[in-house]
Structure 1
Amino acid sequence: PDLQVKVIPSTINPSSAELKCHSSCRLPDHSSFIWYKNGQKISGETFSSYSANVNDGDSYSCAVTGYEDFPSPSV
């Protein structure tokens, strides 16, 4: 799947954002996702969106479970 992470900045807290893992392909219903911060898997996060405290220098990417070899580009 062709994945992209979309960043939606918080209007309340400038250091946090909602990250959404978006696919240009139609994914099966109830797909499970994997989130990575600085290349390390974030445990317990399996939804298509993830609320993150964003710090300068941090990078995030996502992948669909079962397709871990095809993660999104980092943002």
Structure 2
Amino acid sequence: MNQLCPLCQQPLSASENGFHCQHCASDYARQALCPDCHQPLQVLKACGAVDYFCQNAHGLISKKRVQFVPVTA
């Protein structure tokens, strides 16, 4: 899924830390959402591994299924 810049509606490029808009030079953090209920996921980090947990009865979510969206400040 391609994300659009909240300011200028141009496509965002993804990076490991978030999103960047080439058009308006804006940077955005990214938020992990559950693909089933579209609610924010809890990020669990331990021993170099990153896992995602849905607190709305969906449990652990595969990294391949997590939806990342830009977060505006």
Relative contact order higher in (CA < 8 Å, ≥ 6 apart): 1
Higher-Rg structure is 2
TM value normalised by structure 1: 0.28
TM value normalised by structure 2: 0.29
